[in-house]
């Protein structure tokens, strides 16, 4: 029977406060709220007794409306924010819509006492209005990045990522990137095995590499070119440690180098070199999580050649080392 195996998530230490509180408001963004509820509110007995608790804090009095013609009443008000270990702002009713002062005060107070504050998509404007992103990096849907930078020049807006972890403040890009961010929180709290189990139940990848550029509107490659790129990408993925100069890839695809680079970018949102690096890092992370293979062997298997090269890219991309990553997310730390 699916999900009958007891996962027994093991946080690095028990969560000091497992209560996740989602903010609800008149004009609620239904999808973004649903992401938070699906990850943190759904009963998961297979995860044991230390799993999250979930509540909804309404910031508008009485009955509220959600997108799609739904009306609802929340569990409570701002008092629930005072009790939360994690507060999620699932979108906002408008990027130029004022944020109520009581909500700002509650979020600031929660963050000051150690609660994590999380935004999905346009919810970043609530965090920005509260001053929680001042001097920090943040992201949001690519359509809103310019407006966020215009309104809050003291925020380092990063437009080409799916989410950003600033330790106690988290922001995600478009609506679906909220899933990536919520799974990241599960991974931080309970480890890779638990995050993977939640992802399987959601039927989504446990981790997506890449950035928002992949999803911004662009011309679709011609069918015959798309048919040539697909097998080529499959070939590279099957032999990720191979050597793939652009001239060789273009020849295999039957295109000029210039056309190949243009079409590859249109199909993936990144250059071939960047795509290979992302795939190799993903392979290395999987091996670190699931095996006790020495880092030197992982570097060779994932296409980095030398362990020093793998360590360099790990520090650059994840601000950590392979050994530290293995200690946090699985495998045998003694091999790092």
CATH number, residue 298? 1.10.10.60
Assigned domain for 212 exists: no
Give the residue numbers spanning the domain of 229.
218-269
d(CA 14, CA 9): 10
Assigned domain for 1 exists: no
The predicted pLDDT at position 75 comes to 81
Please check whether residues 284 and 235 belong to one and the same domain. Answer: no
Please check whether residues 81 and 117 belong to one and the same domain. Answer: yes
Please check whether residues 117 and 160 belong to one and the same domain. Answer: yes
The predicted pLDDT at position 285 comes to 86
- Residues sharing a CB contact under 8 Å with residue 71, sequence separation 6 or more, in sequence order: 63, 64, 65
Assigned domain for 7 exists: no
Residue 86's H or E segment, with its range, is strand 86-90
The predicted pLDDT at position 30 comes to 94
Q: What is the mean pLDDT of the chain?
A: 85
Last residue of a domain, one of 152, 172, 202: 202
The predicted pLDDT at position 202 comes to 78
Assigned domain for 34 exists: yes
| pLDDT score of 21 more than 50 | yes
Please check whether residues 257 and 313 belong to one and the same domain. Answer: no
Please check whether residues 197 and 62 belong to one and the same domain. Answer: yes
The predicted pLDDT at position 335 comes to 42
Assigned domain for 6 exists: no
Q: Is 121 a catalytic residue?
A: yes
How many structural domains compose the chain?
A: 3
Catalytic residue of the set 29, 121, 145, 182: 121
Assigned domain for 49 exists: yes
The predicted pLDDT at position 219 comes to 38
Assigned domain for 211 exists: no
pLDDT in tens, 28-58: 999 999 999 999 999 888 888 889 999 999 9
Phi/psi-derived region of residue 303, left when phi > 0, alpha when psi is between -120 and 50, beta in every other case: left
Please check whether residues 154 and 244 belong to one and the same domain. Answer: no
Please check whether residues 197 and 231 belong to one and the same domain. Answer: no
Please check whether residues 154 and 46 belong to one and the same domain. Answer: yes
Last residue of a domain, one of 143, 176, 202: 202
d(CA 69, CA 243): 54
Percent of the chain with pLDDT over 90: 53
User: 223 falls in which pLDDT band (50, 70, 90)?
Assistant: very low
Phi/psi-derived region of residue 69, left when phi > 0, alpha when psi is between -120 and 50, beta in every other case: left
The domain that contains 173 carries what CATH number?
3.40.50.880
Please check whether residues 113 and 231 belong to one and the same domain. Answer: no
Please check whether residues 184 and 230 belong to one and the same domain. Answer: no
Residue 44: closest CA among 17, 5, 90 = 5
Residue 192's H or E segment, with its range, is helix 192-202
Torsion of CA 263, 268, 272, 277, to 10 degrees: 180
- As given in the structure block, the two tokens for residue 269 are 């949102």
Angle at 122 between CA 116 and CA 123, to 5 degrees: 25
**Average pLDDT of the segment spanning 218-227:** 46
SS3 246: helix
**Average pLDDT of the segment spanning 248-270:** 88
User: 334 falls in which pLDDT band (50, 70, 90)?
Assistant: very low
Question: Are 139 and 158 spatial neighbours (Cβ–Cβ below 8 Å)?
Answer: yes
d(CA 23, CA 47): 25
d(CA 237, CA 219): 24
Please check whether residues 254 and 331 belong to one and the same domain. Answer: no
The predicted pLDDT at position 155 comes to 96
Angle at 67 between CA 61 and CA 72, to 5 degrees: 40
Assigned domain for 59 exists: yes
Question: Are 9 and 192 spatial neighbours (Cβ–Cβ below 8 Å)?
Answer: no
SS3 20: strand
SS3 57: strand
Please check whether residues 32 and 60 belong to one and the same domain. Answer: yes
């Amino acid at each position: 029977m699916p999900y009958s195996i007891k996962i027994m998530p093991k946080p690095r230490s028990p969560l000091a406060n497992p209560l996740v509180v989602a903010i609800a408001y008149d004009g609620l963004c239904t999808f973004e709220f649903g992401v938070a509820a699906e990850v943190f509110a759904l009963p998961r007995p297979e995860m044991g007794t230390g799993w999250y608790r979930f509540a909804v804090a309404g910031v508008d009095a009485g009955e509220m409306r959600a997108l799609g013609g739904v009306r609802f009443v929340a569990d409570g008000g701002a008092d629930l924010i005072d009790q939360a270990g994690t507060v999620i702002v699932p979108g906002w009713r408008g990027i130029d819509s004022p944020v109520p002062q009581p909500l700002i005060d509650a979020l600031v107070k929660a963050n000051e006492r150690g609660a994590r504050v999380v935004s999905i998509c346009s919810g970043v404007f609530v965090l920005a209005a509260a001053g929680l992103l001042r001097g920090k990096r943040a992201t949001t849907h690519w359509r809103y990045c310019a407006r966020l930078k215009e309104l809050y020049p003291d925020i380092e807006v990063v437009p080409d990522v799916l989410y950003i972890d600033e330790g106690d403040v988290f922001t995600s890009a478009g609506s679906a990137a909220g899933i990536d961010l919520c799974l990241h929180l599960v991974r931080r709290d309970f480890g890779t095995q638990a995050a993977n189990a939640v992802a399987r139940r959601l039927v989504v990848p446990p981790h997506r590499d890449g950035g928002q550029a992949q999803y911004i509107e662009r011309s679709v490659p011609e069918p015959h070119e798309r048919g040539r790129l697909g097998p080529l990408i499959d070939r590279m993925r099957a032999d990720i440690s191979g050597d793939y100069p652009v001239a060789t890839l273009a020849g295999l695809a039957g295109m000029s180098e210039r056309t190949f680079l243009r079409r590859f970018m249109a199909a993936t949102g990144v250059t071939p070199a960047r795509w290979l690096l992302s795939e190799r890092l993903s392979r290395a992370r999987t091996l670190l999580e699931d095996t006790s293979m020495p880092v030197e062997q992982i570097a060779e298997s994932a296409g980095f050649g030398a362990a020093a090269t793998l360590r360099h890219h790990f520090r650059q991309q994840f601000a950590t080392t392979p050994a530290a990553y293995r200690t946090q997310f699985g495998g045998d730390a003694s091999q790092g």
